Amino acid sequence: MTNNLGSDTTADEAASFYANEIKGKIVLITGCTWGGLGAEAARAIAKHDPKLLILAGRKQEALDDTIQKIKEESPEANLRTLIIDLASLESVKKAAAEVNQYSEPIDVLINNAAIMASPYHTTKDGFEGQIGTNHLGPFVFTNSILSRVLASSSPRIVNVSSEGHGLTPIRFDDLQFKKGETYAKWIAYGQSKTANIMFARELAKRYGNKGLVAFSLHPGVIQTNLARDVQISEFQEPIYDAFGNTLDFSTVKWKTLPQGAATHIVAAFDLSIKDKSGAYLDDCQVANDHLRPHAKNNGDDEKLWALSEELVGQKF
């Protein structure tokens, strides 16, 4: 890559670096509650004259709060809200129908919204909460608005994954943790983050011939509202992956919120990585070598796509 950005780069620095690419773009970001990575990415992007920023989230009042704060800094920004609850396929389809009515194409879709290590629960459609919210909801939403994305002259999709993908492969034989009987919240989180990586790569494969570029990324370890179900003290206790290994958080370099959103912006706007479509980014750089073997391109991408279609009852 031609950028010299890295782990300490902030969203503002990244957005300034890609100001020419941001100008005139239409960008849709999910999970735009203030204090989270989506809102921070939106705030930084808004300063560089995008044609339109669509902020998606579950609650209108939370989106209004984010808009008000962005407008304080960028009063001229053209902002629109979209209500979507990724834990409800009915809500996802309603939001997609709204997007499909837009006259504008979507140049960049950033699938940022997620939940992390939450207690066992199911979505409105009966899926284990984390795979439902973090993968199946975005899977249906993305595929349902794909025609609006592909209508762009430079379509791009970014899935916010995590280094947490290393916790586990996709549990094809027990995706739903035997309806909670075998539930382990960190393994469930890791599985959903592995799914984000595979989904981005399969999108790149399926639609590359239509110009689509897709990436997944690890934003870094950051204390955001994503971790509302996790106490910081939990990171002092052993967290086990699916292979029986303990994760050691004592050596982790924590990032600030502005540093955490920087890689979103690189993945969304860096023109020099278009030929690396399907790649995984970390610390503002392409970092496929940071992928665990189970998340590499090994035939599971297509298998996950087929299973996802089966679960949601829709072919894409």
Q: Which among 145, 289, 169 has a CA at the least distance from the CA of 218?
A: 289
Which residue type is seen at 51? K
Give residue-wise pLDDT tens across range 73-128. 999 999 999 999 999 999 999 999 999 999 999 999 999 999 999 999 999 999 99
Q: Are 199 and 280 in contact (CB under 8 A)?
A: no
Active site residues: 189
The dihedral through the CA atoms of 128, 233, 262, 67 has a sign that is positive
Pull the structure tokens for residue 71: 């407008």
Q: How many CA atoms lie within 13 A of 125 on its CB side?
A: 21
Would you place residue 228 in the very low, low, confident or very high pLDDT band (cuts 50, 70, 90)?
A: low
Q: What is the per-residue pLDDT across 53-84, written as a single tens digit (0 to 9) for each?
A: 999 999 999 999 999 999 999 999 999 999 99
Cα 163 to its chain centre, rounded Å, is 13
Q: Measure the CA–CA gap between 14 and 24, rounded to whole angstroms.
A: 17
Between vectors from CA 204 to CA 29 and to CA 46, what angle results, nearest 5°?
Answer: 25
CA 76 to chain centre: 27
Q: What is the pLDDT of residues 291-313, one digit of tens each?
A: 999 999 789 999 999 999 999 99
CATH label, 11-312, candidates 3.40.50.300, 3.50.50.60, 3.40.190.10, 3.40.50.720:
3.40.50.720
Give pTM, 2 decimals.
0.96
User: Strand pairing partners for 82?
Assistant: 56
Q: What is the DSSP letter of 118?
A: P
Residue 4: CB atoms within 10 Å: 9
For the chain, domain boundaries: 11-312
What percent of the chain is predicted at pLDDT more than 90?
Answer: 89
